[in-house]
Amino acid sequence: MSILVDKNTRVICQGITGKTGLFHSQQCRAYGTPFFGGVTPGKGGTEVDGFPVFDSVAEAVRKTDANCSLIFVPPGGCGDAILEAAAAGITLIVAITEGVPVLDMVRTADVLATKFPKSRLIGPNCPGIITPGIAKIGIMPGYIHKPGPVGLVSKSGTLTYEAAWQLGNVGLGQSTAIGIGGDPIIGTNFIDCLTLFEADPNTEAMLMIGEIGGNAEITAAEFIKAHIKKPVAAFIAGQTAPPGKRMGHAGAIISGGSGTAEEKIAALEAAGVVVSRSPADMGKALVEAIARKKGR
């Protein structure tokens, strides 16, 4: 078992004829992900490396029964690509694209919520989602994610790999690992993932990786306190970041004295979450979180 992605997931790629889109589609297929082709308007009817190419998502869905789309289109077309996928009935949309204008995401998220409530968006500006051993829908290196009992959710890419690596070192794999993205407006947030992990019988504990900026980690902490029974560990990146400076991710900025790592760590600890102060101890923090729950 897992969340969002299982063996019934059927994937296509929007932007498959681009260099990055093709490379990662090949990587996903090599991992064993059920992958059925891609979409590039104007190139329908052609083929790239064995992948059939369609003019529209609707056509791809008609011909392949796809229910999941991996998006690599350039930033200016990303919002449009997301809505095209939703309109074609795709239920899981994974947008990898980095650099999407914030107001595009405001409009896209609004239309998704009001017109296409059955479509879930992950991202943008994220590494994607992986259910180890079943399907990889994203740009993460598959081999570092081992199957196991931990639900992993993170705002960051390479820090997720680091966390998966550390979990492997303490003998723990993941039920599913999701990168939700570092942008201010994203499709799926911490609370969505925590809810799904709590309900998933194969997830026994959760590791949540946040960063400075916004208050998603604070609302997640409140949610954990009220609704999550399984053990949770966390790490918050950016404890040393100066205010007012954007640290790479568009969302990672401390503004007006709020969104600091300190307040997020305090809120999580108050909710009973084991927070690792060092990025080197994320795996250990999870082991500690499991041990604490058992001790009770």
Partner 1 sequence: MKIHEYQGKQLFAKAGVAVPKGIVARTPDEAAAAFTQLGGPIAVVKSQIHAGGRGKGRFKEQPEQPGVKLVKSADEARENAKRMLGNTLVTIQTGPEGKQVNTLYVEGGLNIARELYLAVIVDREAGSPVVIMSSEGGVEIEEVAKHSPEKILKEPFHAGYGLQPYQARRLAYQLGLSGSAVASAQSFLPKFCRFFVENDCSMAEVNPLVVTAEGELVALDAKVTFDDNAMFRHKDFAELRDLSEENEFEVRAGKAGLSYVKLDGNIGCLVNGAGLAMSTMDLIKLHGGEPANFLDVGGGANVQQVTEAFSIILADKHVKAVLVNIFGGIMKCDTIVTALLSAYDTVGFTVPLVVRLEGTNVEIARKMLADSGRKIIAATDLTDAAQKVVATLKA
Q: Which residues make up the interface to partner 1 (CB under 8 A)?
A: 24, 27, 75-76, 99-104, 106-107, 109-110, 113, 139-141, 143-144, 154-162, 165, 182, 184-185, 209, 211-212, 214-216, 219, 235, 237-242, 245-252, 256-257, 261, 277-280
Nearer to partner 1, 204 or 281 (CB): 281
Closest separation in Å from C-beta 173 to partner 1: 17
Question: Looking at this protein, which amino acid is placed at residue 192?
Answer: D
Nearer to partner 1, 133 or 184 (CB): 184
Helix/strand/coil percent split, the chain, to 5: 40, 20, 40
Catalytic residue check, 249: yes
Closest separation in Å from C-beta 86 to partner 1: 16
d(CA 278, CA 187): 28
Nearer to partner 1, 60 or 94 (CB): 94
Largest CA distance in the chain: 60
Angle, helices 261-270 vs 216-227, to 10°: value is: 0
Closest separation in Å from C-beta 170 to partner 1: 13
Which residue in the list 24, 145, 227, 249 is annotated as catalytic?
Answer: 249
**Comparing C-alpha atoms, which of 263, 266, 241 is closest to residue 252?**
241
Nearer to partner 1, 225 or 284 (CB): 284
d(CA 241, CA 236): 11
Closest separation in Å from C-beta 168 to partner 1: 11
**Is the backbone peptide bond immediately before 184 cis, with ω within 30 degrees of 0?**
no
d(CA 239, CA 212): 8
The catalytic residue positions are 249
